[in-house]
Amino acid sequence: MRAWSGGREEYPWLMALIGMTIVSVVAAGIAGAIAGIPAHSVSRQNVMTIMAMTPISLFVVVIVLTTRAAMLQIPNPIGKALAFVRGHARSPAAVAACLLPILVLPWLMGSFGTLKMLMPRVVDFTWDDQFAAIDRILFLGRHPWEISHFLMGNAVVTRIVDFIYSMWVALLFFAVLVYALFAPRYDRARFFLAFGASWLLIGVVGAYVFASAGPCFTAQIGASSAPEFASLMERLRTIDSQSLVGAVRWQDKLWTHHSTGHYALGMGISAMPSMHNAITWLYALTLKRAPLPYRVAAWAFVAVIFLGSIHLGWHYAVDGLVAFAMMSGIWWGAGAFLEKTATADALRGSGATAAADTDSPRGLLAA
């Protein structure tokens, strides 16, 4: 039986994740005080709602793994799962590496939600016309939504894209659990460092610096480029009148909450850079050494989310391209942090640590 000790290589990235969370919570409190609203109360409501999703996500994880074990006819899946639990409980650091991201990230994301909602009270939406113009340059005088609706603008395809796009939020909670509980230690550390930093650097700093509302709100904010997106919104509303398009309903709800100053989970308007595109890009970067089916699925998801963000009027193409570039930089920075703290090799595993990492039900996740 292994001594319940060691594993200190987990602590640097865990402390960094806790530090980012503290920065996010404090920033939300300061912004709320300036705006004259109880930001911590709003953040706490966000956190409680996010954490309420954890049991549901965990149930989905169990169903997925059980189904996959049955499909692959993996022998003794319960025994492998128990071995995995023993392996992940081999030290206080190992337990912390599994549980802390699940407990801490709702606070970081909840504070991000508060900061996003407060943004229009701090800065105006001033970049939409510039981003619309950049899109026209990139696509040779056309808007990318015109191309997407020409190629896949029928109602059925639009509703499929809308459904997949809406699954991004559900997958967010699912991904946190899967990476926390099942990812190899180095991949887990790098993922959560990049994941946490992205909410601050892309979702907050980037959003405040390049404040924009997105094509779907250009008319409401009085942007000069609004007529260029009128046909897009008319097409989406026509499809919605025939059969539900969640994006249209959610856009209406967002604007209602924004215009009335009502703060709730998932509210807030910000287009540049796109967190939807940033997080899907992170999934693909993290899975670059995974079996081929996972890599293909990850890059397909990147493509659908990028196209959907344009097709449904949420984003300019440049929002996604900037998000890809920023997330790539953050991913590199996360790797550099692990190398700088001299924990990368230990987390990748060698000797006793490598042996400990074999105590996981890899067969449940293998292709």
Q: Looking up tokens 């700088």, which residue turns up?
A: 340
pLDDT of residue 86: 66
B/e letters for 203-238, b = 16+ CB within 10 Å, e = fewer, are bbebbbebbbbbbbbbeebebebbebbeebbebbee
Contact 319, 217 (CB under 8 A): no
The SS3 of residue 269 is coil
Q: How far is it, in rounded angstroms, from Cα 217 to Cα 27?
A: 27
Q: How far is it, in rounded angstroms, from Cα 218 to Cα 99?
A: 42
Measure the N-to-C terminal CA separation of the chain; round to a whole number of Å: 31
Contacts of 293 (CB under 8 A, 6+ apart): 367
- 84-85-88 Cα angle (round to 5): 85
The SS3 of residue 73 is coil
Contact 348, 186 (CB under 8 A): yes
Give 215's DSSP letter. G
pLDDT in tens, the chain (367 residues): 444 445 678 889 999 999 999 999 888 888 877 777 766 666 666 677 766 766 776 677 677 667 766 776 677 766 666 676 666 667 788 888 888 998 888 888 888 888 888 888 888 899 999 999 999 999 999 999 999 999 888 889 999 999 999 989 888 888 888 888 888 889 999 999 999 999 999 999 999 999 999 999 999 999 999 999 999 999 999 998 888 888 999 999 999 988 887 766 677 889 999 999 999 999 999 998 888 988 999 999 999 999 999 999 999 999 999 999 999 999 999 999 999 887 888 888 743 333 344 334 344 444 3
Give 127's DSSP letter. -
Beta strands in 96-249 (DSSP E): none
Radius of gyration of the chain, Cα coordinates, nearest whole angstrom: 22
Greatest CA separation for the chain: 69
Q: Which of 259, 316, 267, 268 is nearest to 128 (CA)?
A: 316
- Domain borders along the chain are 8-365
What's this model's pTM, rounded to 2 decimal places? 0.87
Q: Residue 51 class from Cβ within 10 Å (0-12 exposed, 13-18 middle, 19+ buried)? A: middle
Contact 305, 165 (CB under 8 A): yes
Contacts of 199 (CB under 8 A, 6+ apart): 20, 24, 108, 109, 112, 275
- What's CA 110's distance to the chain center, in Å? 13
3-state helix, strand, coil in the chain (%, to 5): 80, 0, 20
Contacts of 281 (CB under 8 A, 6+ apart): 302, 323, 324, 327, 328
The SS3 of residue 59 is helix
Q: Tell me the pLDDT tens digit for each residue of 270-302.
A: 999 999 999 999 999 999 888 898 899 999 999
B/e letters for 153-170, b = 16+ CB within 10 Å, e = fewer, are beeeebbebbebbeebee
pLDDT of residue 289: 86
Which pair of structure tokens corresponds to residue 335? Answer: 């790797």
